[in-house]
Structure 1
Amino acid sequence: MPARSRARKRAVDILYEADQRSGASTADDRPVTPASVLAERLLHPGAQTAVPGYAVEIVEGVVAHTERIDEVLATFSQGWTLDRMPAVDRAILRMGAWEVLYNHDVDDAVAIDEAVTLAKELSTDSSPDFVNGLLGRISDLGSALVE
């Protein structure tokens, strides 16, 4: 698996973990957020290898733009609220939306393909089509969606 693909998978893992633990608190009573999970993984990677730099960039980018990313996803996910989506799909879509909207070093088609591949590996049978359609629509509108 190429390095950027591994980094994307790791970023999705961190975003997913934060989503799943969002009602909990850290040891010092701060709420669990993607930033706090990332900080934990950077200090204590556990059985995994160190967090790749591009995974850090993705998570930090998603954190910096979460409000707008979630607004865009909610606007264009016809018939699906963010809360109704599987948590892994939310993590994949947040990563993909950040790459499409904010990371101009990655071609939109590559970002979408990588997100679809992760949806195939990690989620339901219908998730790849959903991820492809939603990120494709976001890509079509592109810079008009970035405030």
Structure 2
Amino acid sequence: MSARGKARRRALDILFEAEQRGTDPEAGVSSRRTSTEQVINPYTVEIIQGVVAEQERIDEILSSYAQGWTLDRMPAVDRAILRIGTWELLFNDDVPDRVAVSEAVTIAKELSTDDSPDFVNGLLGRLQQLKPTLLD
């Protein structure tokens, strides 16, 4: 697994944990740095800071285009995967669009339900198509 792939996984862990506990994801990074020997990749921090900064917009976009699904109804891990994927797709020009979608689908295959990869792929694929209009 690439360094960026590992960074995405760590960011997913931290974002998921923070949502479940009702805590600040950035505090989760600090906590891991002080209470464990985990090395936190700078890209993990960039993802978390980006998702936190853009979460309101990301959630609005996901809510608008997730046909038949509210954010609350989605599995929590899918919600975190989609937030990361949406942030990479729309707000991080360093990641090619197809890579953002592909990485999110791969994580969904490994960590979520059997239906999640298709759902993640479909939703992020739709956002990729609409990207020029979503960022106006």
Matched, 1:35 2:7: no
Gaps of 5+ in 2: none
Q: Could you give the per-residue CA deviations for residues 62-82 of structure 1, whole angstroms, max 9, x where no partner exists?
A: 011000000000000001100
Aligned with residue 61 of structure 1, among 50, 62, 73? 50
Instruction: Decide whether the 8 Å contact of 1:101 with 1:143 is kept in 2.
Output: no
Among all aligned residue pairs of Structure 1 and Structure 2, give the percentage whose two residues are the same amino acid: 60
Deviation of 1:34 after TM superposition, in Å, equals: 1.7
Structure 1 residues 28-79: Cα deviation after superposition (integer angstroms, max 9, x where no partner): xxxx1222222222333x26x3111101000000011000000000000001
Partners of 1:106 and 1:146 in 2: how far apart? 16
Could you tell me how far apart the structure 1 residues matched to 2:6 and 2:132 are? 27
Amino acid at match of 1:19: E
Where 1:129 maps in the other structure, the secondary structure is helix
Runs of 4+ off more than 6 Å: none
- Structure 2-normalised TM-score? 0.95
Q: Report the structure, 1 or 2, having the larger helix content.
A: 2
1:29 is matched with which residue? none
- State the shift of 1:130 in Å: 0.3
The 5-angstrom pairing of residues 104-143 of structure 1 reads 104-143=93-132
Shift of 1:146: 2.4
In structure 2, distance between residues paired with 1:112 and 1:4? 14
Distance 1:40 1:146, change over 3 A: farther
Q: Any unmatched runs of 5+ in structure 1?
A: 23-31
Asked whether the equivalents of residues 96 and 112 of structure 1 are also in contact (C-alpha less than 8 Å), the reply is yes
TM-score (norm 1): 0.88
Q: Look up the equivalent residue of 2:4 and give its one-letter code.
A: R
Superposed CA RMSD in Å reads 1.2
Aligned residues: 136
